[in-house]
Amino acid sequence: MVKNNIKEKDDDKLNNVNINNNNIENKKIINECKKKYTIEYFKEKNDIYKLKIIELKNKLKKYKNNIWDLKLRSQAEIENIRSRSILDIEKAYKFSLEKFIHELLPVIDNLERAINLKIKEKNNINLSIIEGIKLTFKSLLVLIKKFGISIINEINVPFDPSKHQAMSIIESNTIKDNYIIEILQKGYFLHKRLLRPAMVIVSKNKLIQNNN
């Protein structure tokens, strides 16, 4: 409203000026009005442009932030995919022999039974056969251990349901309660993955039972 009032007053001044009159007063009024309008005009335009520049800068900053955030998310997702792929490849490599080892375990059991078999008639031929089986069995164990196979055959250790299968319980006064007394069938791990639990006989302490 103030600007409009000023402009109206200046317009009135210009209307009252006789353009054909070359007196100094009239020229002064005209020059002042022209100068005033020119400065105001460019000032208003300049303010508008400044606001537009600020607005565009804010939009550009927001756009850059969105691009940067998208870049970080993409890099993180790529890294996750790479890590999962490496783990999958490692697992596939480690456990690729699992099915084969499962099929091989009965063969190992039979070789071990043959070694522990009591021969009624001991002669050089029978002893040579047993010795050959022992060497074969030993070589086979060395071979499977190279591929990450470990054997569960410890006795006098606490019973662990994650790797032991209790087949029988025997009472005892000398052995601690719930300890492995005997291994009936060995168990096996493949890179800490249980292939087969060990079949065991577990102790039950009589003293603890009597106290209860």
Q: In what order do the strands lie in the sheet with 164-172?
A: 164-172, 198-205, 180-185
pLDDT digits (tens, 9 = 90+) for 129-170: 888 888 999 999 999 998 889 999 999 999 999 999 999 999
pLDDT of residue 34: 58
Residue bearing tokens 């039974």: 113
Per-residue pLDDT at 196 exceeds 90: yes
Per-residue pLDDT at 186 exceeds 90: yes
β-pair partners for 168? 201
Q: What is the DSSP string of 142-181?
A: HHHHHTTEEEE---SSB--TTTEEEEEEEEESSSPTTBEE
Residues 6 or more apart whose CB falls under 8 angstroms from that of 190 comprise: 94, 95, 97, 98, 101, 147, 148, 149
Long-range Cβ contact pairs of 29-37 (< 8 A, separation 24 or more): 36/10, 37/10
β-pair partners for 194? 189
State the Cα–Cα distance between residues 19 and 29, nearest whole angstrom.
Answer: 11
| CA 207 distance to own-chain centroid | 50
Q: Which CATH class is domain 149-212?
A: mainly beta
Contact 190, 149 (CB under 8 A): yes
pLDDT digits (tens, 9 = 90+) for 17-32: 444 444 556 566 666 6
State the Cα–Cα distance between residues 136 and 144, nearest whole angstrom.
Answer: 12
pLDDT band at 209 (very low <50, low <70, confident <90, very high): low
Domain 96-147 has CATH 3.30.540.10: no
The 3-class secondary structure across 171-196, one letter per residue, is: EECCCCCCEEEEEEECEEEECCEEEE
Mean pLDDT of all residues in the chain?
Answer: 79
Predicted TM-score (pTM) of this structure: 0.57
pLDDT digits (tens, 9 = 90+) for 101-114: 889 999 999 988 88
Report domain extents, the chain.
2-70, 96-147, 149-212
State the Cα–Cα distance between residues 136 and 108, nearest whole angstrom.
Answer: 10
Q: Give the count of beta carbons closer than 10 Å to the beta carbon of residue 197.
A: 18
